[in-house]
Structure 1
């Protein structure tokens, strides 16, 4: 009886108002869609627009106590709890935005690279994975497939030679492939805003870019 009362109490006016306020706050920040990915409770709105929060472990409606605990957790970061922002969710949103931007860049699959190389798809797949294992090619997993970002390739489908010294330390450090892709193709603070894969083409800039890649790889290893 006590458990039933606790679960049902989420529908009392105070708890409903708390749940609505949390949902509206997260929607306003653009973070609501990342709750599940972060392992947090999620919510949905019924036909009348009423918010219903669910426990990720059971799938059941959250109790008033659980909702209060979630409210405290999400507002626990920052000096002003009322305006605190859940940093883990912000990071997930940023990650999703970066990945969406990267996916607009040209990419190849095994068949596409095989056509450029004039080889069979099976032979290309084998060669690609051998190169990736030794840190000589960036492969990015996505939706059950493998993407081969085109920026790293020459016109004949081989790795640009100047990128080898950048990829090898980053991939050897087991840096997330998405993060490697982002660092190589976006302005880098260590390079004064230059884009690494473009800057490394310049013989005068190449040593600095290689040094930045090694430093980043060292930081990734230290974080592991």
Structure 2
């Protein structure tokens, strides 16, 4: 019965394309053995899950929503969405040290210095560390300079310690705080710029309070 329940849960999650996001959501994960059977692992101990643990997991996975037969934990959906958006964003125009240096017509060292100095002032969103960085291109002018109109939007978010990927997602996706406008685009509109800056401050306050 344990095996049947484990297989059913695994097949269900695979069909929803959520199986790969279980560890990031803090949930037990599974692998398939040589016979294709699901082998579930307790993340706390690393041991195979018992029948009682699988039954508890089954109840938890189907405990949310109006239709328990098809409900999915919100946390798992959010993790999957974040992973999907990260993949999509990574495919959009970005720069590393060398490509941005070429756009700016500057040396690699000068560009590296500019990136980290500007990021330290919370005026540039940078993913990665000093050795390997991703600089999303949306925040730059055609000459490779930080967009002035984004400064009042970026500064509160980055100063609050917002995760860079989360900031990238918020800036480039329709935002509820802006009635569905895309923040980085709306910031370029003088009629919307103040609204975007205010929304960024409110979001930064939430970020700061959640991490305190």
TM-score (norm 1): 0.84
- Provide the residue aligned with 2:41 in structure 1: 54
Are positions 1:98 and 2:85 aligned together?
yes
TM-score (norm 2): 0.88
Are positions 1:182 and 2:169 aligned together?
yes
Q: How many residues align?
A: 210
Alpha-carbon distance in structure 1 between the residues aligned to 2:57 and 2:132 = 36
- Provide the residue aligned with 1:197 in structure 2: 184
State which of 118, 121, 126 in structure 2 corresponds to 1:139: 126
Alpha-carbon distance in structure 1 between the residues aligned to 2:177 and 2:118 = 27
The 5 A counterparts of 1:30-41 are: 30-41=17-28
The 5 A counterparts of 1:41-120 are: 41-78=28-65, 81-120=68-107
Alignment RMSD (CA, Å): 2.1
- Provide the residue aligned with 1:15 in structure 2: 2
Are positions 1:124 and 2:107 aligned together?
no
Runs of at least 5 residues in structure 2 that lack an aligned partner in the other structure: none
Q: Alpha-carbon deviations, 1:18-51, whole Å to 9, x = none? A: 1111112212222111112223222122333222
Are positions 1:213 and 2:176 aligned together?
no
- Structure 1 residue 58: Cα displacement: 4.3
- Provide the residue aligned with 1:9 in structure 2: none
Structure label with greater radius of gyration: 1
50-59 or 208-217: which moved more? 50-59
Runs of at least 5 residues in structure 1 that lack an aligned partner in the other structure: 1-13
SS in structure 2 opposite 1:37?
helix
